[in-house]
Structure 1
């Protein structure tokens, strides 16, 4: 007999875990809706031609490919195999699992551009897949909750993303967090001032790993990517900023990259975005400017965001940014967009580690009704209906069984209240309500039972 297993990097979620996950989903969804984003879903699989070339070289390597139906290798020749995997893949796999929700969204916008009202605001909450090496906080299948605006380059959208991040984190109970913000134009300016113009993409991929592998290994990778020792030496001065939003950070940026006109545009965009946030009246801001923040995805062109929960050993729990021409790959150039993505699985891990879920989040059934005979079961059904009518999660034990077995069932499921109905209860209309937490048991009618459960 084969032992059942799960693919590495995937997980089952039992009822208690799902109730907690749904709390996260509902909290994020409510925020998205308050900010007037509309719901959208796209297929789990996309054509590989849609996905490839959008995430950079490393991202493309993490795409899950789906083998063509039937005998996928029937038409292959020895030459096809000899040409290597890059040329072989399109012949045997035309589709792939989506890597994120942003590229499918861009594809959707282009395909529906004649019916969408611009600016178009959408939110999307679906799983994505990455062929990454599984580790704590990093999975091969995980959920993202995205909100994006396309059809405008207004920096008000960036400001609203910052506001949404603060609202979501606050509503989840995550109070100790940092919203790191940068602008890809500043990274372009960094590449220019260290003497490596046009290599901001290579620079971004390397320094995006700064928190994961440290400065020394990042510098080694930059050398491997062709950066000179002189360029790396100039870069070091930029890696140790005082990131607090103040005159100091602006002075540091002006001194180090202000000579680049491109970087200056990025600095001005950051200033305007944060001014809009101030105008809104955000209190207890958790914003930190980080000129080394890169975000590895290659399609970002403006502001980039990353959210880290402090005090836990888990990576970023949210990230996003501005992309000016992602739809251009699908024949619709010049449509600017900006978005944010919340990683539900990492948020779950953070909240579990910090014990932030409300006490009743994992609670399932609130009341178990245990009839002792067939007549008692008939009397139990109206009570069951009344409990559910006032949104009390209630169930009726389906079999006529011994009281001990039914109470054991309630204990195993951590059900706080049990209603016992026997012949006496049927005659009097006064049911036995047992509090499974305290052991107290009283006689109560239907109204009193409802009142005590809701108390």
Structure 2
């Protein structure tokens, strides 16, 4: 007996309804991207390993899917490498390519590679799948789509302001009210690390701090201690863990904490500018909130950091994130090219809309009318009418086989097709159509014009 086929953990098949709902979200995001002046690009699903490795920190590097070289790759290993069982030694010799982990690093590579053809500042959007060797769980998959918008070639903080507006515009269009756009600044985090005497351990500090909402204060402190951050320094963080109040009051408290740090105070000024602009412009659906523990583990953020959480009551991870990266392209040889970008989590947004019942009923509409097949001559006559209806934008189809009436009717019911048309000998002679409403069971004889008008309603 043949083994039942399966798919890898963390991947999914999508049925017609799911594809329609995903397309609705993508089209909404794409529409707002273009309204805000972003242009589409696409990059390959896999990159050279050297393009990706080392750009996401140690944790990120471990989650990159490596692609084995084609051919007899093991023959290229020396006996010493083979018996060493060293993952690092062996991987670099048998794998030269990897599936992209996100869209930002490939975008940076794209900018450097095509810099002579790009008009800066360059606003691009990209909606493509990415892959991460993560542990699958609700809202977290190994293959998923990212929907990114980035601007490179400008250091103006108005870009951050516009990206917050873009988040708000998309959520408003999806009728997803109550999302929280959390913001922090990497300079603030660097300033805090400086004040507590952990300037040389910034990455360890931010990676641990970023886990606060997942593992809690005590475990974060334990992780910091394990990374060599002094207990006296961690004690200085206590006011940070207890920070409360609105955006303005938190900023004032931070000024006191960061007094000795010039860089930290610069980060505060940037946050104040962004918040003041958003207060003046006002958001329609989302709210902006300062979260000084927000770190995001990626190495390349240098300024503002964003993370978006779903409306209160929906238990799911972040549904978006991003930030400012002042010299990401520098890793590929193009210096001083500042950028800032955000990403929408398609899969998690889908789960949120599903839980809150926010998908419009119309997006899952299937075929509107099915023509019953009574035989070859009747079917041919029906196909001519089906073609005319399709030309007018009506979703119509003919049942392909002249099967029993009950089977064809059951097919229409299972597909949720609201109307069926019966064309038998009598209808052929009179050039009429018997239209049946599958919901009410009512039937009426119509000419083509009447049939068209009824189906358009």
Tell me the TM-score normalized by structure 2.
0.96
> Are the counterparts in 2 of residues 418 and 435 from structure 1 also a CA contact under 8 Å?
yes
2:46 equivalent to 1:45: yes
Matches within 5 A, 1:40-439: 40-81=41-82, 82=84, 84-242=86-244, 244-245=246-247, 247-283=248-284, 285-310=286-311, 311-439=313-441
Following TM superposition, by how much is the alpha carbon of 1:232 offset from its aligned partner in structure 2, in angstroms? 1.6
Q: Within 1, Cα distance between the matches of 2:57 and 2:27?
A: 32
Q: Within 1, Cα distance between the matches of 2:306 and 2:445?
A: 58
* Corresponding residue of 2:15: 14
Larger mean Cα displacement after TM superposition, 439-448 or 405-414: 439-448
Counterparts in 2 of 1:83 and 1:176: CA distance versus 1, 3 Å: same
2:37 equivalent to 1:25: no
Following TM superposition, by how much is the alpha carbon of 1:392 offset from its aligned partner in structure 2, in angstroms? 2.0
Q: Within 2, Cα distance between the matches of 1:37 and 1:359?
A: 29
Tell me the secondary structure at the aligned position of residue 116 of structure 2. Answer: coil
Following TM superposition, by how much is the alpha carbon of 1:145 offset from its aligned partner in structure 2, in angstroms? 0.6
Q: Within 2, Cα distance between the matches of 1:358 and 1:447?
A: 30
Q: Within 1, Cα distance between the matches of 2:447 and 2:245?
A: 63
> Are the counterparts in 2 of residues 188 and 198 from structure 1 also a CA contact under 8 Å?
no
Q: Within 2, Cα distance between the matches of 1:417 and 1:209?
A: 54
2:35 equivalent to 1:2: no
Counterparts in 2 of 1:213 and 1:419: CA distance versus 1, 3 Å: same
> Are the counterparts in 2 of residues 243 and 288 from structure 1 also a CA contact under 8 Å?
no
Q: Within 1, Cα distance between the matches of 2:366 and 2:200?
A: 56
Deviations 1:107-161 (A, max 9, x none): 0100000111101111111110000111111111000011111111111111111
Following TM superposition, by how much is the alpha carbon of 1:3 offset from its aligned partner in structure 2, in angstroms? 1.7
Counterparts in 2 of 1:279 and 1:447: CA distance versus 1, 3 Å: farther
Tell me the secondary structure at the aligned position of residue 241 of structure 2. Answer: coil
Deviations 1:44-74 (A, max 9, x none): 1100000011001100010100011011110
Counterparts in 2 of 1:243 and 1:360: CA distance versus 1, 3 Å: farther
Following TM superposition, by how much is the alpha carbon of 1:77 offset from its aligned partner in structure 2, in angstroms? 1.7
Tell me the secondary structure at the aligned position of residue 124 of structure 1. Answer: strand
Q: Within 1, Cα distance between the matches of 2:392 and 2:165?
A: 35
Following TM superposition, by how much is the alpha carbon of 1:397 offset from its aligned partner in structure 2, in angstroms? 1.1
> Are the counterparts in 1 of residues 172 and 285 from structure 2 also a CA contact under 8 Å?
no
Tell me the secondary structure at the aligned position of residue 149 of structure 2. Answer: strand
Tell me the TM-score normalized by structure 1.
0.96
Following TM superposition, by how much is the alpha carbon of 1:209 offset from its aligned partner in structure 2, in angstroms? 1.2
Following TM superposition, by how much is the alpha carbon of 1:236 offset from its aligned partner in structure 2, in angstroms? 2.2
Following TM superposition, by how much is the alpha carbon of 1:377 offset from its aligned partner in structure 2, in angstroms? 1.9
* Residue number among 426, 447, 450 corresponding to 1:448 in the alignment: 450
> Are the counterparts in 1 of residues 129 and 146 from structure 2 also a CA contact under 8 Å?
yes
Aligned residues: 454
Tell me the secondary structure at the aligned position of residue 421 of structure 2. Answer: strand
> Are the counterparts in 2 of residues 243 and 290 from structure 1 also a CA contact under 8 Å?
no
Q: Within 2, Cα distance between the matches of 1:190 and 1:425?
A: 81
> Are the counterparts in 1 of residues 186 and 301 from structure 2 also a CA contact under 8 Å?
yes
Larger mean Cα displacement after TM superposition, 194-203 or 342-351: 194-203
Deviations 1:276-324 (A, max 9, x none): 3344343455111101111111111011111111221110011001101
Q: Within 1, Cα distance between the matches of 2:123 and 2:282?
A: 23
Q: Within 2, Cα distance between the matches of 1:164 and 1:200?
A: 30
- Gapped regions of structure 1 (runs ≥ 5): none
Larger mean Cα displacement after TM superposition, 199-208 or 81-90: 81-90
Following TM superposition, by how much is the alpha carbon of 1:243 offset from its aligned partner in structure 2, in angstroms? 5.3
Q: Alpha carbon RMSD of aligned pairs, Å?
A: 1.5
Tell me the secondary structure at the aligned position of residue 360 of structure 1. Answer: helix
> Are the counterparts in 1 of residues 11 and 142 from structure 2 also a CA contact under 8 Å?
yes
